[in-house]
Amino acid sequence: MQMRYRILIIEDEAPIREGLVDVFLYHGYTVETAVDGESGLAKALGGSFDLVLLDIMLPKLDGFAVCERLRVEEPDLAIIMLTARSADDDIVQGLALGADDYVAKPFSITQLVARVKAVLRRTRSEKETAQHIQLGAQAELDCLNLSGRCGERRVAFTRREMTILQYLHANQERPVSREELLCEVWGYARNLALETRTVDIHIAKLRRKIEADPSQPHFLITVRGAGYRLQTEA
């Protein structure tokens, strides 16, 4: 079942606030609202939200103060600030205080929804990215330091190799296609004619590092017709 994200909209202008509620309900989000900075901050701190859409010009407590407080109290909460089109200083200040993104008013609804999806995807990926990966009793990987142990061997990884392992680890309940790896790890556009051989070469190199016998892999498994899956138990 797809995750149902919870969004808090802190906006004092009723037509904008109500329009945003309709849009995000239509797109499958759970939505709550607040009409000023003070009540919005209280809701955000007590509501287990995934993302806050935060207007800057708010009564009682402005968006900058709310953003600054949320960054201290809820460092993993995604924040998108809504700002006047010409207010470059507002944009700079909001990002400096820890906002993940901003959208200028008047804004395109399509663009706003796309920005929300992108920020949620990025923050979810950051939360799920492993810093340490254990593969049975055979291999232990230190993702931050690009190093690990396979049996008695010490091994070093490139950043690309470790990112592949982290992505497979975050999606270990399913096989991941070569095309998906090229898009998500290499950053290639999905509409390109992608050359998947480069993925196979990296997988072969990884098997030589993490498998006791690369010709009979126990952890980095090929799923015929579907791609690769990382199996953490031998």
* Cα–Cα distance, 54 to 66 (Å, whole number): 8
CA atoms within 13 A on the CB side of 98: 17
User: pTM of this prediction?
Assistant: 0.57
Q: Are 30 and 99 in a shared domain?
A: yes
Q: Are 118 and 146 in a shared domain?
A: no
pLDDT digits (tens, 9 = 90+) for 72-90: 888 878 899 888 756 677 7
Q: Give 224 or 130, the one with higher predicted confidence.
A: 224
1 lies in a domain? Answer: no
pLDDT digits (tens, 9 = 90+) for 120-149: 877 766 665 668 899 988 889 998 889 999
pLDDT for position 14: 94
Instruction: Count the domains in the chain.
Output: 2
At which of 93, 128, 163 does a domain end? Answer: 128
Q: Are 22 and 64 in a shared domain?
A: yes
Q: At what angle do helices 37-46 and 63-73 cross, to 10 degrees?
A: 20
Q: Are 117 and 208 in a shared domain?
A: no
Mapping DSSP onto H, E and C, the string for the chain reads: CCCCCEEEEECCCHHHHHHHHHHHHHCCCEEEEECCHHHHHHHHHHCCCCEEEEECCCCCCCHHHHHHHHHHHCCCCEEEEEEECCCHHHHHHHHHCCCCEEEEECCCHHHHHHHHHHHHHHHHHHHHCCCEEEECCCEEEECCCCEEEECCEEEECCHHHHHHHHHHHHCCCCCECHHHHHHHCCCCCCCCCCCCHHHHHHHHHHHHHHCCCCCCCCCEEEECCCEEEECCCC
Query: In 3D, which of 160, 163, 168, 165 has the Cα closest to residue 150?
Result: 165
Query: How is residue 63 written in tokens?
Result: 């968006």
Q: Give 96 or 211, the one with higher predicted confidence.
A: 211
Q: Are 99 and 141 in a shared domain?
A: no
159 lies in a domain? Answer: yes
CATH number, domain containing residue 91:
3.40.50.2300
The domain in which residue 153 lies consists of: 132-230
